[in-house]
């Protein structure tokens, strides 16, 4: 600790830097996090513009070009029934990103209210809700998702529901813990003292103050959800053929590993790159939102 950061802290306070401005400034200093964000943005653009930029129809088979290695005509090669691998990678980004977005939204929508109620009211409500959360956490993530997907029936929508439900306890636990630390702060006591109703205290005073850790967890959970969707599709429980998904592409590629290794290379590389980028961004965001850093 030198005097310099302390002095600059005072200057920043003078200009009145808002928390989100501070977070953006700290995030901008982290090159790895920015690189992660750029790659994620690239995949999002790819998914949105798929109909415009995809070189071929991802479902169109071509019996004259079965299992062809990468060429100028098919940059990533073709698969076992002559479909263009690059086109399927581009369209497959939709399934992966959708799974990340929808599953995490579901988990947030269910987990955060449970955590808020549990942490705020405490007592028997807390005890009961947390034992339920324990029960869900006791079943390994993927095994819970597989069994849910099995009973709901295999489809991308059901896979997203299964992943969302499986991630719910993580958000419930995190929210509850955060509420417990914030609950006894003076501004909450003050809000209570002036006669605010419970729902107002929870939604207007507690929730906005626990958003940062939830945001970090949501980013990392999106990475986990993308791997989970790929895993379920790999097992045949996610996106159903012939619709493209990186996981199901790998499932097929496994059977042609010695004849057409490129079929396994690209979808795996796509999953790895997207997940790594989300993790890099999540780690950077956590550091930028950490009030102890400056």
State which of residues 50, 235, 285, 289 lies at the interface with other proteins (CB under 8 A).
Answer: 235
Q: Contacts for 15-23 with beta carbons within 8 Å, 24 or more apart?
A: 22/294, 23/212, 23/285, 23/288, 23/289
Question: Is residue 31 near other proteins by the rule CB under 8 A?
Answer: no
Shortest distance, CB of residue 173 to other proteins, whole angstroms? 13
Burial string for 81-113 (b: 16+ CB within 10 Å, else e) reads: ebbbbbbbbbbbbbbbbbbbebbbebbbebbbe
The 147-186 contact track toward other proteins, x by CB under 8 A, reads xxxxxxx---------------------------------
Binding to other proteins (CB under 8 A) within 130-149 occurs at: 131-132, 134-144, 146-149
- DSSP states along 108-167: HHHHHHHHHHHHHH-HHHHHHHHHHHHHHHHS-HHHHHHHHHHHH-SSHHHHHHHHHHHH
Tokens of 74: 């098919």
State which of residues 253, 285, 288, 289 lies at the interface with other proteins (CB under 8 A).
Answer: 253
Which of 176/205 has CB closer to other proteins? 176
Binding to other proteins (CB under 8 A) within 52-81 occurs at: none
Find the part of the chain contacting other proteins (CB under 8 A) among 53-61, 71-79, 194-202, 263-271. Answer: 263-271
Question: Is residue 40 near other proteins by the rule CB under 8 A?
Answer: no
Binding to other proteins (CB under 8 A) within 79-138 occurs at: 127-128, 131-132, 134-138
């Amino acid at each position: 600790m030198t005097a310099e950061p302390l002095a600059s802290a005072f200057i920043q306070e003078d200009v009145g830097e808002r928390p989100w401005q501070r977070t953006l400034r700290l995030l901008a200093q982290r090159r790895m996090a920015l690189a992660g964000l750029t790659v994620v943005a690239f995949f999002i653009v790819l998914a949105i513009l798929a109909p415009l930029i995809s070189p071929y129809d991802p479902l169109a088979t071509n019996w004259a070009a079965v299992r062809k290695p990468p060429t100028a005509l098919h940059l990533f090669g073709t698969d076992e029934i002559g479909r263009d691998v690059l086109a399927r990678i581009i369209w497959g980004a939709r399934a992966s990103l959708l799974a990340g977005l929808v599953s995490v939204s579901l988990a947030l929508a269910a987990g955060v209210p449970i955590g808020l109620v549990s942490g705020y009211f405490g007592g028997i409500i807390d005890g009961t809700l947390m034992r339920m959360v324990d029960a869900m956490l006791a079943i390994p993530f993927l095994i819970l998702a597989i069994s849910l997907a099995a009973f709901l029936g295999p489809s991308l929508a059901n896979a997203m529901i299964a992943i969302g439900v499986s991630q719910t306890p993580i958000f419930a636990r995190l929210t509850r813990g955060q509420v417990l630390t914030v609950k006894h702060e003076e501004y909450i006591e003050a809000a209570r003292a002036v006669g605010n109703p419970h729902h107002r205290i929870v939604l207007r005073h507690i929730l906005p103050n626990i958003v940062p850790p939830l945001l970090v967890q949501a980013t990392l959970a999106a990475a986990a959800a993308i791997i989970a969707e790929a895993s379920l599709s790999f097992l045949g429980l996610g996106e159903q053929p012939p619709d493209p998904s990186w996981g199901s592409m790998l499932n097929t590629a496994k059977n042609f590993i010695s004849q057409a290794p490129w079929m396994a290379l690209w979808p795996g590389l796509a999953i790895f790159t997207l997940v790594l980028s989300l993790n890099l961004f999540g780690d950077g965001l956590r550091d930028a939102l950490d009030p102890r850093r400056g």
